[in-house]
Amino acid sequence: MEAPSFTMATRAEPEAPNARNEALAPARIDIPVSGMTCAACQARVQRTLARQPGVHDAAVNLMTNTATVTYDPTAASPKALVDAIRSTGYGAELVVPGRTIVDEQDAQDAAYAEEYHALVRKAAVSVVAGITAMVASLPLMTTSAHGFTHTSSDPFMRSVASTLTPPLRRALPWLYAIDPRALSFFLLTTTVVVMTWAGRHFYTRAWAALRHRSADMNTLIAVGTGAAFVFSLIATVAPGVFTARGVAPDTYYEAVIFIIALILVGNALEARAKRQTASALRGLVALQPKVARVERGGHEVDVPVDDVRRGDIVIVRPGERLPVDGEVVSGTSAVDESMLTGESSPVTKRVGDRVIGATINRAGAFRYRATTLGEASVLAQIVRLMREAQGTRAPIQRLADRVSAVFVPVVISIAIATFAIWYVAADSASGVRAFAAAVAVLIIACPCAMGLAVPTAVMVATGKGAELGILIKGGEALQRAGSLDVVVLDKTGTVTEGRPAVTDVIVVGQTRTEAQLLVAAATIERQSEHPLGAAIVAAAHDRDLALGAAESFSSE
């Protein structure tokens, strides 16, 4: 399917107040937010911003870690909004002054890459530690580290032990020769290392949420793994608390490690999704050349594109991308603007015509005056609109936000009720079994999937659209697109690939065959940089035709 073209909309600048002192138009700001890990985090920040005086609308996106706020500049300020976010326990900073949207995208890409690699390392170490802890725990399921001969009170673990113990005892006899008490302390040490290194952020964020009288996914993880660790710690250092009551001092270190490992794996996959969906924006940013050739002091010099000033004369040669927007002052050429319009045919540019940065000069050299730079450039506007689209909420997200706001308290209440029911109903080891059931509720009931589903879908859709040349306005447009029955296109250029292709070869007369005619044309055109010539050469290559060598060539 051929790729549609970009459609770009611009936002009108606010008008200055008139003599009657009309209110200023609402301002809009994007604030980077750090520390959010789940839908509850997102909902808390969003509610706090929405309650601030002067705020008309607040949308917090968990995937982009950005809060987009529309506010009345006479009643609120960017600093006040940042302080409001920080009051919830999350980090927030204003965008660095003078940094372009391209610089912001580069910084975001670097942050995504750093986050992804850190999570992969932690997840890999935790998985290995979890497997090690599971193997080391098997001998403890059949004998106690404190002389209390038993089998595990957990029916599942008892089944696992009875299945795996015989082959494992034959494969690793030395493991069963180790003092069970030493194995317990080895597992204790391993678990402490995993909790304090790989999983430390879960506990620090849970504590921060508690200090602000709220709860989130980190609260569930911290309470579940923390309870399992405390239970196992008591069973290791004070087993008499259990043996005196006829209960086996079981430990759950491997469960703690595996829970942290699995959640880290999920977080790593989420970070990977962020990086992949941002690839389209990276592709747009990469379209802009890093260097521009300008006239300075009567000489042509290459300067970084950020150093180009308004009014500079920029020189471009055939095959080069235009570094900035401007107006042609001398020369004539054909410019490929398919990245913007989708039209496959180059557009002839003459003196006085406008040219767009990141488009390709196909034929001829020309000089033009730089007019719009940085944030005002067309490419920067496209990137900004894409980032704004990825940060918008679809209408269905409001339902997820409402559910997420009460999800954690409900889950904790269910866990408490589960403990009480198991404690009363269990026929043996009621405390242990009730505790294990309550921890299972806390760990399994993770709200991440619910909170991340919609923003992830918006990011993937808008990112894929940009990759194919479609600029999607936001989540609401995506949701409404699901009910469309008819799509009307205004011109053929919007459904082209942005480059021409040979569809038919028609021979007039009988002097040559189709193949001979195509070989002759391609032999000549492969010396040309024109898109139509490139299409003819590509057609010859697709048919495996051998091309000859042109004795002379001139491009007019």
Q: Which residue has the tokens 């894929």?
A: 464
- Chain centre to alpha carbon of residue 190: 32
User: Rounded distance, CA 65 to CA 234, Å?
Assistant: 40
Tell me the angle at which helices 514-525 and 531-542 cross, rounded to the nearest 10 degrees.
Answer: 130
With contact defined as beta carbons under 8 Å apart, do 9 and 385 qualify? Answer: yes
Backbone φ and ψ for 168, nearest 5 degrees, come out as -70, -35
Q: How far is CA 243 from the centre of its chain?
A: 50
Q: What angle do CA 98, 100, 102 make, to 5 degrees?
A: 155
The alpha helices in 278-358, defined as continuous H runs, are 279-286, 338-341
Residue type, 114: E
Q: Which of 179, 302, 485, 490 is catalytic?
A: 490
- The DSSP call for residue 321 is B
Q: Tell me the three state secondary structure of residue 360.
A: strand
DSSP class of residue 102? H
The full 3-state SS of 382-394, as one line of letters, equals HHHHHHHHHHCCC
Q: Which residues contact 45 (CB under 8 A, 6 or more apart)?
A: 33, 36, 60, 67, 85, 88, 90
What are the C-alpha distances in Å from 363 to residues 81, 226, 321, 498?
Answer: 51, 68, 12, 17
- Supply φ then ψ for residue 205, to 5 degrees: -70, -35
CA angle 80, 86, 87 (to 5 degrees): 90
- CB contact set of 182 (below 8 Å; sequence gap of 6+): none
3-state helix, strand, coil in the chain (%, to 5): 55, 10, 35
CB 357, CB 286: distance < 8 Å: no
What is the identity of the amino acid at 502? V
Q: Are 249 and 239 in contact (CB under 8 A)?
A: yes
Provide the b/e sequence for 360-379 (b: ≥16 CB within 10 Å).
bbbbbebbbbbbbbbeebbb
CA 170/CA 164 separation, integer angstroms = 10
Alpha helices per DSSP H over 251-331? 253-277, 279-286
Q: How far apart are CA 413 and CA 411, in angstroms?
A: 5
Whether 307 is catalytic: no
Catalytic residues, by residue number, are 490
